[in-house]
Each structure stands twice: as C-alpha cells, then as structure tokens.
Amino acid sequence: MRKAFLFAALAVTVVAMTPNSVIVPGLPAIAGGLGVSRAEINMLVTVYTISSAVFAPLVGMAADRLGRKRVIVPSLVFFAVGGMLPALLPRFGPALAGRVVQGFGGAGMMSSIYGLIGDVYRDQGDRNRLLGVVNGTVAVSEMAVPLLGGALAAFTWRTPFLAYGLAAPAAVLCAVSLPDVVPSRRPSASYAKGLAASVSSPGILGVFFAKFGFSFAYFVLLTAAPFVVVSRLKGSSLLTGLLMIPLGVFWSVFAFNMPRLAARFTARRLAIAGGIAQALAAVGMSLSWSAPVIAAMFALWGIGAGLSSPALLSMMIELSGESCRGAISSLYGCISLIGGSLGPVASAVLATTSGDLAPAFAFAGGVLVASSLGFAWLSSKGHRAQDGYDDAGDENPGREGQN
C-alpha cells in the first residue's frame, strides 16, 4: 500500500465516523447548553442525516466530473466549519444551520474515497487489502468514537463540536497526499447514460438491496439492544456497552482479514455468508435471556458484518465502472442512511405493538434473510466484463462477475 494514501484514506474514514457518534452521548448536556428540549435536540442528528442524503448524489457526480480529490478536500473543510459552528455560535438556529453545512461536507467524503480507491488500486487483491483496513477502522471507530464523545461532553457541552475541527488537518493531509484523478471526461449526456446503465445493472441493484437490508437490521439491533439488557437482564447502559464489545472486536478482526478471505472466496459468497450470520444472530437475540448468550449473539453479528461490509464495498467498487464510481458510491451511502433511519422506527413500532422486543429482532432476522437471498439472485444475473468503460467511452456498465 502507498503509505501516504493509506493515512489520508484512514483519516477521512475516522472523520466520517464522527458526525453523530461524537455528540450523541452528550445530547442531554448539549440540550441544556442550547436551551432546548430533548425532542428538539434530536433534530441535530436528523438535519445532518437529511442534508447528507440530499447532497450525496450531487456530490458524487461532482467527484466523477471534477475529480475525487477536488471534492474530498473542500468536503472536509465544510465538515469542520459546519461542525464547529454550534460551539462558536451557541444558539439553536445557528447550530442547525451548521449541521446542514456539515452534512453537505459529509456527503462527499467516503463516496469519494471509495471511488479513489477504485481508481488507484486496479489490482483486486491490493484493493481488498485496503478495503479491509478501511472497514476495520470503521468497526474500531464505532466502538471508540462514542466513548470519546462522552468523555469530551464531560468537560463542557461545546467540546464535542470542537472535535470536528480535526477535519481541517485531515483536509491538509488529503491535499498533500491524494492523487488528482479526474475519472470521467466524457460528455454529460454520455456520462448520464452510463450512470443509468450502471445503476440498473443486476449486480449494482443486488449490492444496493443487500446494503439497505443490512443497514436496516443493524440499526434495529443498536436501538433495541439497550432495552433488552434492561428488561431481560435488569442491567444498565454500562452492561449494554460491555456486551456490545464483541460486536466491534469480531467485526474489525474479520474486516482486517478480508484480503485472506477474498483470496479463497468470492466477495459475493462472503457477503451472503455475512448476511446469514447476522440473520442467525438476530433470531438468537430474540431468544436470548442471559448475558453470555447475548454477548455471543453480538459476536456472531460482528462476524457477519466483518464479512459482508467489506465484501459489498469491494463489489460496489468493482461493478460501478470508473467513470461513474463516485455517483454509485454516493447512492450506496444514501441507501445505508435510509436503512439506518428506518431501522429504529421499525424497532420502536414493533416493540410498542407487542410489548416485547423479540418481534423486532425476529423481523430484522427476516429482513436479513430476504436481503441475502435477493442479493444472491440479483448478483447471479450479473455478467463478467473486461472493463467498466473503455477509453473510447463505450458502455460496459460493470464487472458483474463475482459469482
């Protein structure tokens, strides 16, 4: 791996994991600092998510047309400025505006990094090695960032927002370290036609279908698990955090070992196996009534996520084609956001209706099975191709042969 590229990619990855997880642990203190209610303070999370989802396709297309680096660097600057605004102008209106700006910045970061990884690392083994490190970093960040956010909020409610300023040195690192690649110089009409062909290809549709289901189920788990610990184990939030450690540990271990696994199994098979493992964990969670069993189910879910997440990323990058990889990556991120937004809603509705959380986990398990089967069917319809698009601009929307 090119060390400078690796450090820049990991810096962007860590920054991309912070937008909500840094402030969520301190939301009660932030609400007091801004003088708003508990219901109102949740809008800080909502407006960021909406802003990212709205701007992501546009930013992704800009990365395809202008270049990945030319999107990543200003995105990090917008992220830093918008993120720190609530601490600098401590009123609710400016805080919401800052989160909208931050969402605009966040919309282009990971999709552009994924696109650049595909541009720079043409060899699939090298690309899988980097994707494994990136996804392992995501898993570690999922564990570490909320702890950091909680510690920062213990100082003052403004401190978590100041942490977003770390995106600024990340922007400098990216400006110095990342190559300036402009993947698509084709006419706009030709680009739009190629993008439509890629989006409608069975392989890409299968990846999107799986990503939605896996994200939906994961957020059902995150929102339902703390209540399971309280209702079944009579435990605390501390116990919930301890029981969830195996999730992050096994996720990161299997993600970091992606290159070895990919040398023996296709990405398609790894993604299917990961989805089934998560489905078994969801069903097991609905039946679990002891701390060791719940911890084991978290571990199994982590194994599944460690298999499926980097595998889907690898397939998405491989199938999207160089000239529209940024837009496809952005849509991939949007689908993850939509799934993550709907999962908590479904969890709350099912728990409220039944009076128990078992149906929420069982439903998540069903979604995971359906997503895995749908992905398997759609991806099997794909076909192998030599190139996503050749230099002359002939259409060939995807290398859909990871069967």
247-271 pLDDT, tens digit each: 888 998 898 888 888 889 998 999 9
Amino acid at 234: K
The DSSP code for 165 is G
* Rounded Cα gap, residues 130 and 127, in angstroms: 5
Q: State yes or no: pLDDT of 383 exceeds 50.
A: no
CB neighbourhood size of 270 (10 A): 25
For residue 8, what is the enclosing H or E element?
helix 3-16
Q: Is the dihedral of CA 19, 20, 23, 25 positive or negative?
A: negative
Q: State yes or no: pLDDT of 385 exceeds 90.
A: no
Burial 331-357 (b: 16+ CB within 10 A, else e): bbbbbbbbbbbebbebbeebbeeeeeb
Mean pLDDT of 171-195: 79
Mean pLDDT of 312-336: 84
CB neighbourhood size of 276 (10 A): 18
The chain-wide mean pLDDT, for the chain, equals: 83
Hey, what long-range contacts does 364-368 have (CB within 8 A, 24 or more apart)? 364/216, 364/217, 364/220, 364/221, 364/282, 365/217, 365/279, 365/280, 365/282, 365/283, 365/286, 366/279, 367/213, 367/216, 367/217, 368/213, 368/214, 368/217, 368/275, 368/276, 368/278, 368/279, 368/282
pLDDT at 395: 44
* Rounded Cα gap, residues 313 and 342, in angstroms: 21
Amino acid at 104: F
Q: State yes or no: pLDDT of 401 exceeds 60.
A: no
Q: Where do the domains of the chain lie, and which CATH numbers do they carry?
A: 3-176 (1.20.1250.20), 194-380 (1.20.1250.20)
Amino acid at 42: N
pLDDT > 70 fraction of the chain, expressed in percent and rounded:
89
The DSSP code for 403 is -
**C-alpha distances in Å from residue 221, one per residue of 216, 225, 285, 324, 365:** 9, 6, 9, 33, 10
Residue 387 banded pLDDT, cuts 50, 70, 90: very low
* CB contact set of 355 (below 8 Å; sequence gap of 6+): none
* Rounded Cα gap, residues 217 and 363, in angstroms: 8
Residue 134 banded pLDDT, cuts 50, 70, 90: confident
* Rounded Cα gap, residues 383 and 397, in angstroms: 10
**C-alpha distances in Å from residue 14, one per residue of 62, 110, 163, 336:** 23, 10, 12, 17
Beta carbons of 340 and 215 less than 8 angstroms apart:
yes
| Residue in this structure with the two tokens 């993947």, named with its chain if needed | 183
Q: State yes or no: pLDDT of 34 exceeds 80.
A: yes
* Rounded Cα gap, residues 384 and 329, in angstroms: 20
Q: Which residue would you say has higher pLDDT here, 38 or 84?
A: 84
CB neighbourhood size of 172 (10 A): 14
Helices (H), ranges, 321-383:
325-354, 358-380
Mean pLDDT of 206-218: 93
